[in-house]
Amino acid sequence: MATDYALIVHNLMSFYDLTGKTLVSIGAGGGQFAGCGRPARKIVAIDSDAAALDQLRAAVTRDGLGDKCEFIHGDFLTMSRLPRGDAALFEFCLHEMEDVALALARAGEAAPDVVVLDHGRASEWAYYVAEEAKAGLVWRTLERLGMARHREFAAEQRFRDHAELLAKVKPQGATAIQRIEKFSGRSDIVIPMTYEMALVRFDRPAGRDWS
């Protein structure tokens, strides 16, 4: 699979300036977007998947960012003590949260600025991985909450053949597997993908220590 993660990171860094800030990165495991934390002062990475956090550790070490990272293994929705920072980031994970509104509210407790990076509402890729309904819920919730800034970007998911595509979507379940049957027997598969970014600003509670 060929996804231009470097371009996504570039767009994210252009969308929101993290220079000198403490970033609370939610769903950060895997390491695909580790580079977005380069200008940050500190990164607090949270993920419920221990293996994904290990991949992130390897990625930030490779990129020379390991000394500014803290790793937390846990469920962001239920952890008893939230880390604090200048900005919180959902990395293609808000659509997977059981309660999107609660996740955003907790992120607002962790940081005054909350940045969301997720599937676009019109994304063909979101349809093929059976996540279009979840993506729609994310953006409807954000529209109700109010976005200080919003942008949409176009990208592509590329696969050598149907077998590679199947390996990618299989964890998404039977609906996704059925939807990609149209690509059976094909090679050099290209599926358009849109993703959106939003910034939501929360008021800082009086008297809170944001250091």
- Write down the pLDDT at residue 205: 47
Find out whether 172 and 130 touch, Cβ atoms under 8 Å: yes
pLDDT digits (tens, 9 = 90+) for 123-142: 999 999 999 999 999 999 99
Q: Is the dihedral of CA 179, 180, 181, 182 positive or negative?
A: positive
State pTM to two decimals: 0.90
Instruction: Tell which wins on pLDDT, 35 or 168.
Output: 168
- Write down the pLDDT at residue 46: 92
Mean pLDDT of 93-122: 96
Asked if the structure places residue 71 within a domain, the reply is: yes
Asked if the structure places residue 183 within a domain, the reply is: no
- Write down the pLDDT at residue 35: 79
pLDDT digits (tens, 9 = 90+) for 21-75: 999 999 887 777 777 878 999 999 999 989 988 888 888 888 888 788 899 999 9
Only one residue has tokens 């199947």, namely 166
Asked if the structure places residue 39 within a domain, the reply is: yes
Q: What is the mean pLDDT of the chain?
A: 90
Give me the numbers of helices (H) and strands (E) for the chain, helices first please.
Answer: 7, 7
Question: Residue 30 belongs to a domain with what CATH number?
Answer: 3.40.50.150
Asked if the structure places residue 166 within a domain, the reply is: no
Give the span between the Cα atoms of 44 and 84, in whole angstroms: 9
Asked if the structure places residue 165 within a domain, the reply is: no
Q: Say if residue 204's pLDDT is above 60.
A: no
The structural domain count of the chain equals: 1
Find out whether 50 and 70 touch, Cβ atoms under 8 Å: no
Asked if the structure places residue 169 within a domain, the reply is: no
- Provide the residue range defining the domain that includes 59: 7-120+131-153+195-201
Asked if the structure places residue 144 within a domain, the reply is: yes
Asked if the structure places residue 162 within a domain, the reply is: no
Q: Say if residue 189's pLDDT is above 50.
A: yes
Give the span between the Cα atoms of 199 and 103, in whole angstroms: 14
